Amino acid sequence: GDSVTQTEGQVALSEEDFLTIHCNYSASGYPALFWYVQYPGEGPQFLFRASRDKEKGSSRGFEATYNKEATSFHLQKASVQESDSAVYYCALSDGGNYKYVFGAGTRLKVIA
């Protein structure tokens, strides 16, 4: 079945550091890829998506590029802020159905 792997379980950075969270996927079809962010006490929120190879998704300074060859969709941000501290989920939706497959999540802590 389809799967999403997030390499980092936790990431700790200082403000203004560069962020990368790695996301790799396995899918039989040509999935859409997503990033969601979850703050304490809230449900996950849509950050952005990409649905075709080489497409870049972006929002709030975060970005990721769909790489079909490498089966990756790594999240990056040039300069993180304390307010970015949250859990980030990578997900895919296969064209065959409308369900999501979520990665395990990466907890980001940014220290001021």
Partner 1 sequence: DAGVTQTPRHEVAEKGQTIILKCEPVSGHNDLFWYRQTKIQGLELLSYFRSKSLMEDGGAFKDRFKAEMLNSSFSTLKIQPTEPKDSAVYLCASSLGDKYYAEQFFGPGTRLTVL
Contact between 77 and partner 1 per CB under 8 A: no
What is the number of other CB atoms lying within 10 angstroms of the CB of residue 53? 11
Contact between 42 and partner 1 per CB under 8 A: yes
Residue 20 CB, shortest distance to partner 1, in Å, is 20
Contact between 89 and partner 1 per CB under 8 A: yes
User: Could you tell me which stretch among 20-28, 66-74, 77-85, 103-111 binds partner 1 (CB under 8 A)?
Assistant: 103-111
Q: Of the candidates 22, 47, 13, 19, which has an alpha carbon nearest to the alpha carbon of residue 103?
A: 22
Kindly tell me which of 92 and 110 has the beta carbon lying closer to partner 1.
92
